[in-house]
Amino acid sequence: MTCDDFQAHYLARDGGADSDAHLAGCNWCRSRIEELDAIRLQLDATAMWEAPSDELEEAIVASLRRTRGPIAPTNRAWTATAVAALLVVVAGAFVLIQSRQPDWDIALPASPGIGATASVAGWNTPAGTRMEFSINGLEPAGENEYYEIWLTADDGRHVSAGTFTGPGRIESFAGVSRRDFPRIWVTLEPNDGDEGIGGPTVLDTGS
């Protein structure tokens, strides 16, 4: 189950063993539970699903007449339903857009000889740092290799923020604040059972 799948099921109150297992193993989704609960409350509100008042419908129709000219007569029930659906979509889009705005967005320069471009957007949460990487042009990792994301503090302490195998959009979470671990970098690691840093650096914000 992906993070998007879990959040869709959670908002629909359609949980299950798969959702419980995903939440237990995903720091990122656990960090968003309060935000998802707030969206749930908005979706549960009766007003979200009520048909708009006659006054609201008439105001919208009048506004359309001013900008587009006469409007052909239509079924009032259909109009009310359409306006209500429009309001729900707009409200939902606003909530999602607001929740998606990153707290910071920076370039992730490639090391010399690495023909790749990358950036990372980050969200500061009470549980740590959620990140979304956009990586292009990076060669896929070999059969016995993987890329690993690291955050490093000024005193040299390292925290792993997950692994991936190729370019694209990568979502990651670290249980530390980027304020305390400002350096973000990526290494290409051999799949040899050693969890330490042993491979070359491919992307790096610098110290």
Q: What is the full DSSP assignment across the chain?
A: --HHHHHHHHHTT---HHHHHHHHH-HHHHHTHHHHHHHHHHHH-GGGTSPPPHHHHHHHHHHHHHHH-------HHHHHHHHHHHHHHHHHHHHHHHHH--SEEEE-PBPTT---EEEEEEEEETTEEEEEEEEESPPPP-TTEEEEEEEE-TTS-EEEEEEESSSEEEEEEESS-TTTS-EEEEEEEESSS--S--S-EEEE---
* Cβ contact 148:159 at 8 Å: no
- Give 26-85 pLDDT, tens digit per residue: 877 787 788 888 887 777 776 656 666 667 667 766 666 665 555 555 554 445 555 555
- Has residue 126 got a pLDDT over 90? no
Give Cα separations from 103 to 91, 108, 109, 132, 195 (angstroms): 22, 16, 20, 11, 30
Distances (CA, A) of 57 to 35, 81, 181: 31, 10, 52
For the chain, give the mean pLDDT: 81
| Region 104-204: CATH code | 2.60.40
pLDDT band at 94, cuts 50/70/90? very low
Amino acid 41: pLDDT: 79
pLDDT band at 100 (very low <50, low <70, confident <90, very high): low
pLDDT band at residue 17 using 50, 70 and 90 as cut-offs: confident
Tell me, what's the pLDDT at 98? 46
Which tokens in the block code for residue 165? 């195998």
Average pLDDT over residues 139-155: 95
Q: Boundaries of CATH 2.60.40 in the chain?
A: 104-204
Evaluate if residue 113 carries a pLDDT over 70.
yes
**Interval 175-200: pLDDT, tens:** 999 999 999 999 999 998 888 898 99
The per-residue pLDDT for 26 is 82
The lowest-confidence range among 9-13, 74-78, 102-106, 118-122 is: 74-78
Q: What is the mean pLDDT of residues 79-104?
A: 56
Query: Between these two residues, 153 and 48, which has the higher pLDDT value?
Result: 153
Q: Average pLDDT of 94-113?
A: 78
